[in-house]
Amino acid sequence: MGVPIILASASPRRKELLERLGFTVKVIPPGVDEARIDNENPENYVKRLARAKVLAVVERLSQTLYTDVETGVRRTAPGGARTQDTRWVIGADTVVVLGDQILGKPKDTAEAAEMLHRLSSSSHRVISGFCIHDLRKNKEGVQAVQTEVRFKRLTATEIEKYIAVGESMDKAGAYAVQGVGAYLVDSITGSYTNVVGLPLCQTVEMMEEMGAHDILPY
């Protein structure tokens, strides 16, 4: 097994995308505050969150907790949470933008239905920010990628049946383009994998630029 990329995301879709390319992936959920700053535009929002997720995991990788046997106090020890070969950490965040409004994950089925009604017969943007951190050099790159998605006209019955499938509740915009939700999409302009959650072309290009040649699967 190769040296793993550390994925600072709990998204199974991002993990699957990287593994399809042949990468070995270890997931460490970052647990960061995802609240949006007032007047923050979508591109800056996803880039900031992607970087925050990565840095939260980088901090966890640089230290581990242990109990001092004499005092019983929990202390941190540097370098204990990663192997010597661990080098690359990737994080990402994806939003759906309709007009100037960000559509996040719906809080319930009623909100999911409202989102899908709004997306029906219209175009929206899917914007993913991603960050790659080089632990060896302590440097990172951050980028945002945008894809335009147009939905077919959806009937109320179609929306009701799609929500019943169960894909909506943990997805920005209440749909999954890689699942049953593919039939909702009339056209895509730009990166398909960006809509899934991680623009693979741009991610690999950045890895090449940052010198990750030793773990690229080709």
CA distance 208 to 29: 25
170 is catalytic: no
Active-site residue identified among 38, 68, 85, 93: 93
| CA 88 centroid distance within chain | 16
Between the two ends of the chain, the Cα-to-Cα distance in Å is: 15
Residues catalogued as catalytic: 93
